[in-house]
Structure 1
Amino acid sequence: MSAILTGAKTAMTGLPALHAGEPLPAAGDRFRVVDSTGRAVAVIELTDVGTSPISAVTDDYAHAEGRGYRDAADWRAGHEDFFRSDLVAGILGGVPDIDDDTLVLTQRFVLTARLSSDA
């Protein structure tokens, strides 16, 4: 959350399968960012949303995630670990197979508002 507020994080990634039964996010969608207590602290707006093979993610995109990834290979390793985690497996009903052709949902966004502490 703090990386969003400082502008270090301007992208996020997911698996399309995590949106089963609901539409995928689209450019122009807005979301509240919440802190660890559940308090809304900001609003972001998606500016670019797409699906691409995990192998097509670039170094630039990896850096935009604001988590200190050295490059796309480092980003991929971290995301493969997360996508194979118990949390994701629980949502999907099993551990997903990940290979070069696995589609990921890439989302770039801008911070549109910081919310006051009493929001």
Structure 2
Amino acid sequence: MSTDPYASAQTFSFGDSPAMADGLLALVLAGTKTATCGALRDFPEGSPERPVVGRRDVVLDGQGRRAAVIETVEVTVRRFDEMDEKFAHDEGEGLRTLAEWREGHQSYFERNGGFSPDMELICERFRLVEVLPRTETEERAVS
């Protein structure tokens, strides 16, 4: 009998739609995306969803299936208008420029609770630990 080493891990999907979840997951699996961020307001101090250095989380695909395990290697808090080119590049999306990062993330935050240039972000760098096998029968709720 095998035990699941990630049974108690936090699970999440990137983005705010199944298509975005799949697209961003593909960037993680390709090694292009090694960073992510979210509005600090969505990660209160002590909440289980808040990233923690050394923790391993399970990334879900757009269908809610476990797809990969990542390990957080750095967590910082910074304002949206203080984001730097390096972090924007490491998020791995689009042209990987700060200008495109700002445009895409402003739109995302406007859709998901509001945007302001001085909003605080929780910024996470991670490494891919493991790619998990996905089967059609393994459906999990996206949380």
Q: Same fold (TM over 0.5)?
A: yes
SS at match of 2:129: strand
Aligned match of 1:105: 122
Q: Structure 1 vs Structure 2: percent identity of aligned residues? A: 33
SS at match of 1:44: strand
Give, in whole Å, the separation in 2 of the partners of 1:77 and 1:52. Answer: 17
Aligned match of 1:46: 72
Contact between 1:9 and 1:66, CA under 8 Å: does it hold in 2? yes
If asked which structure has higher relative contact order (CA below 8 Å, sep 6+), I would say 1
TM-fit CA distance, 1:114: 1.1
Aligned match of 2:29: 5
- Partner residue of 1:72 out of 93, 98, 120: 98
SS at match of 2:74: strand
SS at match of 1:33: strand
Structure 1 runs (4+) deviating above 6 angstroms are none
Would you say how many aligned residue pairs link Structure 1 and Structure 2?
110
Give, in whole Å, the separation in 2 of the partners of 1:16 and 1:51. Answer: 8
Select between 104-113 and 55-64 the one with higher mean Cα deviation: 55-64
SS at match of 1:48: strand
TM-fit CA distance, 1:55: 1.9
Contact between 1:11 and 1:61, CA under 8 Å: does it hold in 2? yes
TM-score scaled by length of structure 1: 0.82
More helix by share: 1
Aligned match of 1:84: 110
Aligned match of 1:18: 42
Aligned match of 1:116: 133
